[in-house]
């Protein structure tokens, strides 16, 4: 019988971690994290990383697995996570995948497309432009030449904006043109469970989560990471806004409000991504019993109690 990877996806703050732990306990299995920022040991508060109690409730992989100055790509994750799954499936019929980083989820479940490599001079020029002119300049350039891809991507992530521009300037094609190819067959089944909620409820959770991050020491965490601020993982929502404040731009309250706003925008893009890719079955965050019933009907059975 084929093994099954249950992939839990959805927007930020919707409750993916809690559901993944409940499913891991139910199926007596382990969790693979596909959150591209929770890999980094030094980034805890701003990534809403599972706390000690949650990490103890189920075995997690790819949490605190890398140093913040390590560049860890979706391709690297695909390779390492596939190797891990090979091992986990020796002793488990089901493994739970959880995360809101769509590209990393897709890398593991479907495989990555063979994107063209840009000449070094193009990459260097774009990165120099990022440093001198800032991310908004590159965002506007990408939006003008490739509005379709721009609308569905994480355009707050400078690494992905630069990559999309690299592909376009190298080939004259959208990066989306290279993402239409047939997915790679996996040796395991993939069932994707999407969590979503009413927009007002989701946005309230996002706003409250950001407030909790501040209460838990986000400002101090960002200050401690100042020497790494140019690394891709730190040029993301929750960190760039605080760095901007530390540079003397606006008040701390304005920075918090920007994090909330940018997090809400990111949530919308996550929902768009997961609705477009894969056969996602959507549920409310409180639908645990419905999700278990759906998985049973899909042939995913919990171990028999002894």
pLDDT digits (tens, 9 = 90+) for 145-164: 888 888 877 777 788 898 88
Question: Quick one: pLDDT at residue 123?
Answer: 84
Same domain, 92 and 194: yes
Q: Do 150 and 43 sit in the same domain of this protein?
A: no
More confident: 153 or 26: 26
Tokens matching residue 163: 């990559």
Between the ranges 70-74, 180-184, 252-256, 268-272, where is the mean pLDDT highest? Answer: 252-256
What would the mean pLDDT of 191-201 be, rounded to a whole number? 97
How high is the pLDDT of residue 117? 80
> 1 falls in which pLDDT band (50, 70, 90)?
low
Same domain, 147 and 204: no
Question: Which has the closest alpha carbon to 37: 74, 5, 9?
Answer: 74
Q: With bands split at pLDDT 50, 70 and 90, how would you rate the model's confidence at 195?
A: very high
Q: How confident is the model at residue 31 (pLDDT cuts 50, 70, 90)?
A: very high
Higher pLDDT, 180 or 159: 159
The verdict on residue 305 lying in a domain is: no
104, 170: one domain: no
Whether 198 and 290 share a structural domain = yes
> Do residues 259 and 210 lie in contact, with contact meaning Cβ atoms separated by under 8 Å?
yes
% residues pLDDT > 90 (the chain): 69
- Determine the pLDDT at residue 148: 81
Half-sphere exposure of 206 (CA within 13 A, CB side): 26
Instruction: Check whether 267 is labelled as a binding-site residue.
Output: no
Reported pTM: 0.85
Instruction: Examine residue 286 and state whether it is found in any structural domain, yes or no.
Output: yes
With cut-offs at 50, 70 and 90, classify the pLDDT of residue 305. Answer: low
Report the CATH number that the domain containing residue 85 is assigned in CATH: 3.40.50.300
286 pLDDT above the threshold of 60: yes
Residue 84 within a domain: yes
Q: What is the DSSP letter of 94?
A: E
* Residues 235, 150: Cα–Cα separation, whole Å: 18
**Residue 14 marked ligand-binding:** yes
- Sequence-ordered list of residues with C-beta below 8 angstroms from that of 229, at least 6 positions apart, any chain: 235, 239, 243
Confirm whether residue 10 is marked as ligand binding: yes
Instruction: Please give the pLDDT value at position 289.
Output: 97
Q: In this model, does residue 103 exceed pLDDT 90? A: no
pLDDT-based confidence at residue 118 (cuts at 50, 70, 90): confident
Q: Do both 136 and 197 map to the same domain?
A: no
Q: Is 15 assigned to a binding site?
A: yes
pLDDT of residue 176: 76
The residue out of 151, 179, 207 marking a domain boundary is 179
Give me the half-sphere count of Cα atoms (radius 13 Å) on the Cβ side of residue 126.
23
CA distance 208 to 218: 14
Domain count, the chain: 2
Is it the case that residue 124 has pLDDT exceeding 80? yes
Most confident residue range from 89-93, 133-137, 301-305: 89-93
Residues 219 and 276 in one domain: yes
Per-residue confidence at 180, pLDDT binned at 50, 70, 90? low
Give the pLDDT confidence score for residue 8 in this predicted structure.
Answer: 98
Q: Are 277 and 194 found together in one domain?
A: yes
> Is 70 within any annotated ligand binding site?
no
Average pLDDT, the chain: 92
Residue 292 belongs to domain spanning = 4-112+187-297
Reported as a pLDDT band with limits 50, 70 and 90, residue 268 is very high
Was 278 annotated as part of a binding site?
no
Tell me whether residue 20 is in a domain. yes
Mark whether 172 and 244 lie in a shared domain. Answer: no
- CATH number, domain with residue 142: 1.10.20.140
Same domain, 38 and 97: yes
Is 172 annotated as ligand-binding? no
13 is in an annotated binding site: yes
Q: What tens digit of pLDDT does each residue of 217-258 get?
A: 999 999 999 999 988 889 899 999 999 999 999 999 999 999
């Amino acid at each position: 019988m084929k093994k099954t990877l249950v992939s839990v996806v959805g927007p930020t703050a919707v409750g993916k971690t809690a559901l993944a732990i409940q499913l891991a306990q139910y199926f007596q299995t382990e969790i693979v994290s596909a959150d591209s920022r929770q890999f980094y040991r030094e980034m805890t508060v701003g990534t809403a990383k599972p706390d000690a109690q949650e990490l103890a409730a189920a075995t997690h992989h790819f949490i605190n697995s890398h140093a913040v100055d390590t560049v860890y790509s979706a391709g690297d994750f695909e390779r390492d996570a596939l190797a891990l799954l090979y091992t986990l499936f020796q002793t488990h019929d089901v493994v739970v995948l959880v995360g809101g980083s769509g590209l990393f989820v897709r890398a593991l479940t479907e495989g990555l497309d063979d994107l063209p490599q840009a000449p070094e001079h193009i990459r260097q020029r774009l990165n120099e432009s990022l440093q001198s002119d800032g991310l908004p300049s590159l965002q506007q350039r990408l939006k003008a030449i490739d509005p379709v891809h721009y609308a569905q991507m994480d355009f707050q992530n400078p690494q992905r904006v630069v990559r999309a521009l690299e592909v376009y300037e190298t080939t004259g094609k959208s990066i989306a043109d290279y993402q239409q190819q047939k997915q790679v067959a996996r040796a395991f089944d993939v069932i994707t469970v999407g969590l979503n909620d009413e927009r007002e409820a989701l946005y309230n959770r996002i706003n409250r989560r950001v407030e909790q991050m501040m209460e838990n020491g986000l400002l101090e965490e960002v200050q401690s990471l100042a020497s790494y601020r140019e690394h891709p993982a730190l040029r993301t929502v929750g960190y760039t806004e605080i760095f901007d404040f530390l540079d003397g731009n606006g008040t701390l309250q304005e920075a918090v409000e920007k994090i909330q706003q940018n997090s809400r925008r990111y949530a919308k893009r996550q929902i768009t991504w997961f609705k477009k890719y894969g056969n996602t079955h959507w549920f409310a965050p409180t639908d645990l019993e419905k999700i278990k019933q759906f998985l049973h009907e899909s042939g995913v059975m919990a171990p028999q109690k002894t």
